[in-house]
């Protein structure tokens, strides 16, 4: 039951111009599980994703991915090792078509044999492959971001606020999709503000405040932890 961690982050720090945005984050993610990453605005959630996915180099600390040292590796290298992410504000290749967006990633990812149509279908973009990405609405663009990430066949997926901006009727589908991905053995780290959505996809959460991990455990326990409560109410 206890698999070795897919992603292990220890003592991760990152400063910008001397100001620490991450000040020692520890986190563990196992294959097949979804972990919610919570914290008030500015607590370092997105910075953590940026550092883990190679957008920024960490100032210190260590990232281990599937048993490899992945600290400070370039994004394209991490993709090959089996990690990918989505963006809070989606960043599809706007002049390319939906299908091309996925094809680029398939081509350079870990498993070029996947069917791009199936990935799009999975992400609720079936039949829209020929549209230019810039013609999609923001919710569709988020799902395209996700589809593009999935096309590289990641073992570890960092999802940055997928639910924000989605219509009510889309939320259930999105939650179902994340659970499916985990069920297939992937490890997911989900940044989310909507507690209801978090509850739908996971029980285990990690809480950040001011760049450090202040809590790791079940959502239930978190809501009773005085420190966590104080941070959220204070924010």
Site residues for another protein per CB under 8 A: 53-55, 74-76, 79-80, 84-85, 87, 91-97, 99-101, 103-105, 107-110, 129-132, 135, 148-149, 151-152
Do residues 78 and 54 make contact, with C-beta atoms less than 8 angstroms apart? yes
* Shortest CB 203 distance to another protein, Å: 28
* Shortest CB 123 distance to another protein, Å: 15
In the numeric block, which tokens belong to residue 42? Answer: 């500015």
For residue 63, give the 3-state DSSP assignment: strand
- Measured from the CB atom, the residue of 35 and 98 that comes closer to another protein is 98
Do residues 177 and 128 make contact, with C-beta atoms less than 8 angstroms apart? no
**Contacts of residue 184, Cβ cutoff 8 Å, sequence gap at least 6:** none
- Measured from the CB atom, the residue of 124 and 129 that comes closer to another protein is 129
* Shortest CB 93 distance to another protein, Å: 4
* Shortest CB 85 distance to another protein, Å: 6
- Measured from the CB atom, the residue of 15 and 103 that comes closer to another protein is 103
* Shortest CB 220 distance to another protein, Å: 34
Q: Which residues pair with 17 in a beta bridge?
A: none
Strands (E), 144-186: 156-160
- Measured from the CB atom, the residue of 59 and 103 that comes closer to another protein is 103
In the numeric block, which tokens belong to residue 87? Answer: 């963006």
With left for phi above 0 and alpha for psi between -120 and 50, is residue 214 left, alpha or beta? alpha
- Measured from the CB atom, the residue of 108 and 227 that comes closer to another protein is 108
């Amino acid at each position: 039951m206890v698999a070795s961690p897919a992603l292990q982050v220890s003592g991760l720090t990152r400063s910008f111009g001397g100001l620490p945005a991450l000040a020692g984050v520890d986190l563990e993610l196992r294959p097949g599980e979804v972990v919610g990453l919570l914290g008030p605005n500015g607590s370092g959630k997105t910075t953590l994703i940026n550092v883990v996915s190679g957008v920024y180099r960490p100032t210190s600390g260590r990232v281990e991915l599937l048993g490899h040292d992945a600290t400070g590796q370039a994004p394209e290298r991490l993709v090959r090792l089996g990690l990918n992410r989505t963006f809070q504000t989606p960043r599809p290749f706007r002049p390319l078509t939906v299908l091309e967006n996925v094809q680029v990633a398939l081509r350079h990812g870990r498993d070029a044999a996947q069917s791009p149509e199936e990935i799009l279908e999975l992400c609720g973009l079936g039949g829209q492959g020929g549209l230019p990405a810039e013609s999609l609405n923001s919710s569709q663009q988020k799902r395209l971001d996700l589809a593009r990430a999935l096309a590289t066949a990641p073992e570890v997926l960092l999802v940055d606020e997928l639910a924000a901006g989605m219509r009510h009727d889309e939320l259930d589908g999105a939650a179902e999709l994340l659970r499916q991905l985990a069920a297939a053995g992937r490890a997911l780290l989900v940044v989310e503000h909507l507690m209801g959505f978090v509850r739908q996809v996971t029980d285990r959460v990690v809480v950040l405040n001011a760049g450090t991990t202040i809590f790791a455990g079940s959502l239930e326990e978190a809501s009773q932890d005085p420190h966590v409560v104080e941070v959220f109410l204070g924010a």
